[in-house]
Amino acid sequence: MARGRSRRSGEYGEFWPAYVDVLSTLLLVVTLLMSIFMIAQYFSAQESTGKDSALQRLTLQISELTSLLSLEKGKSQSAQDELAALQASLASIKSENEKLTGAGLGADERAKDAAGQIAGLSADLDKQKNISTEALSKVDLLNQQLVALRRQIAALNDALNASEKKGAESDKTIKDLGARLNTALAQQVQELKRYRSDFFGRLRTLLKDRKDIRVVGDRFVFESEVLFASGSATLTPEGTAAMDQIAEAIVELQKEIPSDIDWALQINGHTDARPISKAEFPSNWELSTARASSVVKYLISRGVPADRLVAAGYAEFQPVDTGNTEDAYQKNRRIELKLTNR
């Protein structure tokens, strides 16, 4: 056992220095590599620091150059603006120069014209002086005429005042005459009412057996069928017989009415609402007027004075019955006689 241990110790003694040498060598190599790495890092850091400083310097220089460039651009723009303003001013000056040149040429001509006008005005002034002298004499004459005119106006005012007084008196007289006239007219109306009442009384007596003829208010009403055929304005034989009686009554009445009563017998023609359309009578206006005119003409032929007769047509626009029955139509087709004053 002891022998084995010594053998091992001898072996370890043989290898240990070599092992130590190897380790020392490795340690030196690692130390050398670390040193080299540190030196390399140092130089790399120095180089990087130098690059950063250079980059900062370059950035600062670029900023300065940019500022200088901006200033130069501003100066260039200002210079261009000034140049444009100078060019505009130059063009304006040239234009003004041309105008002044033309004005100078025109000024000579205007000066010549002005001289001619001055001469003309001087001549006119001399004429005006002469005219002024004549005008003064005319003014004197006008003053004299004005005085005479004022005298005439005063005389006219006096005459007007006198005329106004006469006018007031005339107005009073006219009022009195108007009152008298109204009184006379009222008396005539009353007398005419009496004669109309007598006239209607006679007609009632003459036509008492005719139920188709009636008195309505102040009118004597004939149904159209009594006097005319349907759609006609020619009196029928029956109608002429009735008109003969009326004409006789009017002629007798005319003898009794005083001449100072201005009376008239008005003949009114009326139709129903149904339209008519003929060549002779295009509408109810023509038919109603033609029937009233036929009655007037017949009465004139029987001795009634023409200046005492009036014909009027009302067509269908003054119905006595607004119904749509045949009976209403028959009532509306009529001839009315009205004794009235003009």
What pLDDT does 208 receive? 61
Question: Is the pTM value of this prediction over 0.85?
Answer: no
Contact 338, 218 (CB under 8 A): yes
What pLDDT is stored for residue 334 in this prediction? Answer: 93
Q: How far apart (Å, rounded) are the C-alpha atoms in residues 25 and 28? A: 5
Return d(Cα 239, Cα 103) in angstroms, integer.
105
- The owner of tokens 């109603």 is 288
Which SS3 state, helix, strand or coil, does residue 221 take? strand
Instruction: Give the C-alpha separation, 258 to 255, whole Å.
Output: 8
With a CB cutoff of 8 Å and minimum separation 6, the contacts of 207 are 213, 242, 245
> Could you write out the three-class secondary structure of 178-199?
HHHHHHHHHHHHHHHHHHHHHH
pLDDT at res. 16: 65
Residue type at 295 in one-letter notation? V
**Strands of the sheet with 263-270, listed across from one edge:** 213-216, 219-223, 334-341, 263-270, 309-313
Tell me if 263 sits within 8 A of 195, measured CB to CB: yes
Which two structure tokens, joined as six digits, stand for 124? 């006119």
CB 331 within 8 A of CB 320: yes
pLDDT attached to residue 27:
82
pLDDT digit string (tens) for the chain, length 342 residues: 455 555 555 555 556 667 677 778 888 888 888 888 788 777 777 776 766 777 777 777 777 777 776 776 777 677 677 777 877 877 787 777 677 666 655 656 766 776 777 777 777 777 776 776 777 777 777 888 888 888 888 888 888 888 777 777 777 777 777 777 666 566 666 666 666 666 666 666 665 666 667 777 778 888 888 899 988 999 999 899 889 988 988 888 888 877 777 888 999 999 999 999 889 999 999 999 999 999 999 999 999 999 999 999 999 999 999 999 999 999 999 999 888 876
